[in-house]
């Protein structure tokens, strides 16, 4: 519940109390005695409602005590109430509250008056936007957010926040930490991401899905939801026939001695070569597929051996990037596919097309093939089985698929078919494809090695480690940090820069992979932000201020915001919940990166203009600590740390 709603509830409680007092005085009412029973019953109902409201209000206030407040959302509720009071007959009045782009005119801006004037004009009521704005301002309810409002131009309402209110919110953040905004209802969120293919090494194409998907999971987890991280690996299909046949030839004793398959990629290429060139081998490969699908024990063991080699390789990448994920490959859904096909057939949604069984979903130009002409199932069938499992068995409220944009049409058709059969209503359940562009080299072509091969992801990560160490040594950090600190800094910079370079670009667009740019400590890069964060964290340490001292000060010291740079930074810190709301809605994580960069640069302005620690110029000794400014430093670092955590970046204390 917002502050505006709390204020409204408090007023309703007062009205109910007045009504109860009035009903207690029968002479005042001047009603016939026959009506007293009815009035007493009404009185009881009002008391009951009053108690519920009071209890609800107390619960909300205690719940909201620790949570960070979304200021924009609070202002929307305040202006929503003002608009409905000023124009009760205007249905679906537009509610437009945005950050004011020019601080000299105010902190936020309500721009509802202009579209409201258009709506009223369409109904034959000619009212100027400025007149509407004036009426909205007159009906703003009492609240603790707004200091004053000004009407500018044709009807923009500029909003100035109360400094004391912002100061209280910063104190709340410092005492309770960076807490997520209040959650109305905990949701079950399924995120399908990474999804490499068994027997093939992870390449740079898997980098984006893995990084973006992990960050989305971290976001929903921080907001208090239950998140299921799924790895829909390609672990089933005809290619396993040739791999098993090749395994039998190369390692005939594989059932008793684990085969030393070091390079699975080479193993795959060798089996594919034989499959393409040797007819006898091809026949045996198809027989192996049949036996695997029949779940014969020896063939299941061979399949597991191949899968385990891949899993070990995948895990090396996941360990580097700090990824948690649960494997549920295509094989997991095999037994569910028959049921799915039968359900579509029973509902009369299946058409026959040259031996294939296909499903046309409304508004889609291409069908799904759920059974091939040879009786086999397809990716379409397994994706339908997967979405049904996630909706009915996992009871997901939100399902997000993180794959490249080339699959957008496929998922559109799968989602449309799932709606057609009645598995979910998009108004109730959010099912979304979060597509992304490809990774390009600095020549703006698909990222490849010099020989034209796809770049192995592990090679890329190792190159990142090498370059980050070179960068740290170039800055002389090896002479300042201990060997252990240097290794931590190396990993933080290498993997942080690779993740941030991806996440700081709009995921819908292609992006150019450049180690030189991502390791540059100028501009909107992880290198710059990590160094900035380390500097902020070092301010208290260099002034010999203990953490316990800062915690105590947070509870007793008022955060002053008199200087314009203090005020600017304080408001910037508190925009964090608004940023989280936006990226939850559109799943575009670059907005968080842009915010963290803005926060870091705004902090630099503050630090350059406002002394946190004053030292003697000759001795260098600390002579004065401006504790409220130290607290502003702490609040900045706390929000930056949580932002890094959502992006999957691990900052270190010393760099």
pLDDT for 581-594, tens place per residue?
999 999 999 999 99
**CA–CA gap between residue 429 and residue 423 (Å, rounded):** 10
Give the number of other Cβ atoms within 10 Å of residue 481's Cβ: 18
- pLDDT for residue 342: 97
**CA–CA gap between residue 637 and residue 632 (Å, rounded):** 9
**CA–CA gap between residue 268 and residue 201 (Å, rounded):** 10
Which portions of the chain are predicted below pLDDT 50? 28-29, 31-32, 50, 53-54, 56-62
Judge contact between 144 and 159, C-beta under 8 A: no
**CA–CA gap between residue 387 and residue 415 (Å, rounded):** 8
Judge contact between 289 and 238, C-beta under 8 A: yes
- pLDDT for residue 26: 53
Token output for 625:
């600590």
| Integer angstrom CA distances of residue 99 from 31, 78, 216, 632 | 54, 15, 25, 21
**CA–CA gap between residue 402 and residue 523 (Å, rounded):** 28
Judge contact between 164 and 203, C-beta under 8 A: no
Strand, helix or coil for residue 226: strand
Q: Which residue in this structure is represented by tokens 């300042």?
A: 480
CA nearest to 57, candidates 2, 15, 6: 6
Which residues pair with residue 191 across a beta bridge? 229, 400
Element of type H or E holding 632: helix 627-647
Token output for 475:
């800055």
Query: For the chain, how big is the Rg over CA atoms in Å?
Result: 31
**113-167: per-residue pLDDT in tens?**
999 999 999 999 999 999 999 999 999 999 999 999 999 999 999 999 999 999 9
**CA–CA gap between residue 238 and residue 286 (Å, rounded):** 7
**CA–CA gap between residue 347 and residue 349 (Å, rounded):** 6
CA nearest to 424, candidates 400, 401, 379, 390: 390
Average pLDDT value for the chain: 90
Strand, helix or coil for residue 223: coil
CA nearest to 530, candidates 482, 490, 560: 490
């Amino acid at each position: 519940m917002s502050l505006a709603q709390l204020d409204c509830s408090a007023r309703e409680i007062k009205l109910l109390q007045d009504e109860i007092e009035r009903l207690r005085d029968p002479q005042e009412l001047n009603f016939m005695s026959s009506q007293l029973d009815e009035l007493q019953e009404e009185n009881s109902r009002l008391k009951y409602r009053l108690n519920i409201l009071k209890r609800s209000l107390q619960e909300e206030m205690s719940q909201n005590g620790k949570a960070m407040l979304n200021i924009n959302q609070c202002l929307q509720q305040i202006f929503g109430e003002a608009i409905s009071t000023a124009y009760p007959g205007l249905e679906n009045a537009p509610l437009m509250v945005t950050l004011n782009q020019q601080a000299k005119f105010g902190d936020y801006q309500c721009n509802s008056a202009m579209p409201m004037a258009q709506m009223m004009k369409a109904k034959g009521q000619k009212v100027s936007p400025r007149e509407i704005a004036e009426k909205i301002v007159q009906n703003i309810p009492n609240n603790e957010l707004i200091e004053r409002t000004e009407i500018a131009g044709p009807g923009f309402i500029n909003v100035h926040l109360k400094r004391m209110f912002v100061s209280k919110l910063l104190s709340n953040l410092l005492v309770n930490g960076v807490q997520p905004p209040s959650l109305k209802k905990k949701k079950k969120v399924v995120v399908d991401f990474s999804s490499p293919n068994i027997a093939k090494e992870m390449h740079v194409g898997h980098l984006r899905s893995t990084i973006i998907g992990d960050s989305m999971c971290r976001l929903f987890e921080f907001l208090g939801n239950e998140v299921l991280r799924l790895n829909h690996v390609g672990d089933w299909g005809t290619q396993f026939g040739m791999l098993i046949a090749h395994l039998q030839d190369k390692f005939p004793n594989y059932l008793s001695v684990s085969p030393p398959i070091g390079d699975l990629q080479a193993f795959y290429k060798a089996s594919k070569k034989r499959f393409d060139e040797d007819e006898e081998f091809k026949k045996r490969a198809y027989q192996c597929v049949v036996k695997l699908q029949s779940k014969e024990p020896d063939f299941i063991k061979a399949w597991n051996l191949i899968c385990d080699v891949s899993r070990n390789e995948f895990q090396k990448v996941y360990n580097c990037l700090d990824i948690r994920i649960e494997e549920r490959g295509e094989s997991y859904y095999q037994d569910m596919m028959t049921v799915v096909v039968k359900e579509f057939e029973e509902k009369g949604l299946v058409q026959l097309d040259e031996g294939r069984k296909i499903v046309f979903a409304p508004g889609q130009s291409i069908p799904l093939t759920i059974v091939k002409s040879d009786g086999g199932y397809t990716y379409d069938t397994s994706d339908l089985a997967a979405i049904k499992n996630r909706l009915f068995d996992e009871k997901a409220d939100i399902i997000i698929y993180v794959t490249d944009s080339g699959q957008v049409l496929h998922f559109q058709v799968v989602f449309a078919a799932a709606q057609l059969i009645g598995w979910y209503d998009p108004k109730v359940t959010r099912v979304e494809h979060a597509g992304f562009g490809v990774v390009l080299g600095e020549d703006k072509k698909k990222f490849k090695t010099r020989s034209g091969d796809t770049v192995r992801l592990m090679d890329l990560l190792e190159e990142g480690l090498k370059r980050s160490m070179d960068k740290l040594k170039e800055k002389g950090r090896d002479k300042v940090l201990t060997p252990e600190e240097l290794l931590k800094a190396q990993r933080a910079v290498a993997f942080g820069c690779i993740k941030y370079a991806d996440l700081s670009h709009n995921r819908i667009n292609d992006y150019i992979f450049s180690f030189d740019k991502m390791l540059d400590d100028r501009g909107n890069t992880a290198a710059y932000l990590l160094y900035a964060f380390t500097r902020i964290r070092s301010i208290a340490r260099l002034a010999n201020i203990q953490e316990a001292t800062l915690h105590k000060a947070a509870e007793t010291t008022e955060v002053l915001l008199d200087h314009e740079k203090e005020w600017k930074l304080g408001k910037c810190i508190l925009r964090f919940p608004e940023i989280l709301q936006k990226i939850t809605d559109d799943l575009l994580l670059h907005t968080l990166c842009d915010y963290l960069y803005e926060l870091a640069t705004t902090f630099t302005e503050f630090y350059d203009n406002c002394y946190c620690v004053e030292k003697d110029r000759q001795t260098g000794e600390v002579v004065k600590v401006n504790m409220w400014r130290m607290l502003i430093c702490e609040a900045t670092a706390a929000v930056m740390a949580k932002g890094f955590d959502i992006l999957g970046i691990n900052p270190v204390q010393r760099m």
